[in-house]
Amino acid sequence: MSDIQPSSVARTSIHAHQMDEEAVREAYRRWAPVYDYTFGKVSTAGRRHAVEIINAGKGKVLEVGVGTGLSLPEYKPHLEITGIDLAPEMLEKARERVQAEGLKNVSGLHEMDASNLQFPDATFDTVVGMYLITVVPDPEKVMQELSRVTKPGGTVMLVNHFSQEEGVRGWVERRMAPLADLVGWHSVFDVSRVMVCPKLKLVESRSLRPWGLFTMMRFKKDAGAVTQQQAAE
């Protein structure tokens, strides 16, 4: 497991520039027609790596930020897949993909806010967010929601970009930070922002192709975790 250390400087920088929900919607309204041919190409290796790991499991999978559904054909048919996204234009393309490829294991694609998931506690065996967490206005709240809807003993997986302070890459990321609303994601994003759920234990972290720009993080939810519903009973 790689040793990713939080950075107080990066933490301060990212809190200085927050995207709101409408900015996210507008950015991905612009991205929808060309997403598959631009960032979709760059993200292929990381997406396939994550799905390969998920395919070794079983049960119900939630993909948060499913976008145009590029990953959906990669899931094995023994899994039941649900996808959500905030952008209706992206979901329209995902639904077209499901129909065109006859993906019988996709049980639903829903327009939904990742920080307010409309699912009961402990619904899914695996919850995955690929290239999601730098997009949302409140990453900490989203992480709490991913944890909440995951079954005790289940898996939460992220594939994401985390920023650096040093070198040319760090310089470029800092210069891009003010453009977050325009491009639809945070170039400066510290790993500490996803390490906020005591019930989630990080069991694997590795850099992915291309060029190590993205990191796959796999969390295991405490098997003894008590859901909110159980706590209220």
User: Could you tell me the CATH number of the domain that includes residue 216?
Assistant: 3.40.50.150
Tell me the pLDDT tens digit for each residue of 33-60.
554 544 444 567 788 889 999 999 999 9
Task: Please check whether residue 50 lies inside any domain of the structure.
Answer: yes
Q: For residue 45, what are the CA distances in angstroms to 102, 132, 141, 168, 169?
A: 23, 16, 27, 23, 20
Task: Please check whether residue 12 lies inside any domain of the structure.
Answer: yes
Number of domains forming the structure of the chain: 1
The CA distance from 81 to 114, in Å, is: 16
pTM > 0.75: yes or no: no
Task: Please check whether residue 158 lies inside any domain of the structure.
Answer: yes
Q: Residue 8 corresponds to which tokens in the numbers above? A: 């107080």
Task: Please check whether residue 42 lies inside any domain of the structure.
Answer: yes
Tell me the pLDDT tens digit for each residue of 113-122.
999 999 999 9
Q: 31-63 burial string, b = 16+ CB within 10 Å, else e?
A: bbeebbeebbeebeebbebbbebbeeeeebbbb
Q: For residue 81, what are the CA distances in angstroms to 85, 181, 203?
A: 14, 30, 23
Residue range(s) defining the domain that contains residue 181: 8-222
The CA distance from 21 to 40, in Å, is: 22
Phi, psi of 134 (to 5 degrees): -85, 0
Task: Please check whether residue 228 lies inside any domain of the structure.
Answer: no
Average pLDDT over residues 220-233: 69
What's the gap between Cα 123 and its chain centre? 17
Average pLDDT over residues 92-106: 97
Task: Please check whether residue 231 lies inside any domain of the structure.
Answer: no
Task: Please check whether residue 232 lies inside any domain of the structure.
Answer: no
Task: Please check whether residue 2 lies inside any domain of the structure.
Answer: no
